[in-house]
Copies of this chain bind each other. A is one copy, B any other.
Amino acid sequence: MRAVFQQELSSVQDGLVLISDLVLDAIRNASTAFNTADIALADQVISGDPAIDRLSIELDELSIQILARQGPVARDLRVVVGALRMSALLERMGDLARHLAQLTRRHYPEHVAPDALRDIFIEMAAQDIRTAELLNRLLRTQDLELAEQLIEDDARTDALHRSVFDAVLRADWTGTTEQTVDVTLATRFFERFGDQAVSIAKRAQYLSTGEWVMSRR
């Protein structure tokens, strides 16, 4: 019975890693699609999102079955409750990658961001990919230094987010109203992607420390 339980617990952790593999692919492809106006890649992200949603629901089912059958306590309980939370956050990260892909598709064959913002968005994309990579390693290794790094890195994402607004609000901004709208949405999606990763990093810290009380931010 105990062996089954341990196997189920490690299935939960494997499930999180698998979903985060797909989220990493999604944000890599969505970012490249966004920055190169690649509609085929954008479509790949859009058509791949239901798989993330499905795996996330399956992981929830498994977690709830474990709660029902095993009544885990202490750290085991935290692993299962943590997985319920993390799966929802990973699923949301997949949605955000899909939203970026949908913006890309809507503007094709044009780029979403005008030339003046190209460099900032290349940097934001690189930052989100780095975030997804750190997150993936964190879920694989449970190395809490990676959680720290993720939380610290988010300040960089926020700074890039603000710099998009600074650029759009400068007197020399020549974008159309549609570009202003879509660049606002895009930077918000990139920035929220980082926020979800921070929430997962904080969950990982909580798994380790066992402190229930924590901010969700």
Contact = CB atoms under 8 A, between A and B. Distances in A.
Interface stretch (A33-41, A120-128, A152-160, A180-188): A180-188
B168 A177 contact: yes
A61 B213 contact: yes
B68 A73 contact: yes
Contacts of A84: 81, 84-85
Interface residues of A, number: 35
B188 A57 contact: no
A53 B177 contact: no
A170 to B, nearest CB: 9
Contacts of A177: 168-169, 173, 175, 180
Nearest to A178: B169
A216 B50 CA distance: 11
A64 interface: yes
B56 A216 contact: yes
A169 B181 CA distance: 9
Interface of A: 53, 56-57, 60-61, 64, 67-68, 71, 73-74, 77-78, 81, 84-85, 88, 91, 165, 168-169, 173, 175, 177-178, 180-181, 184-185, 188, 212-216
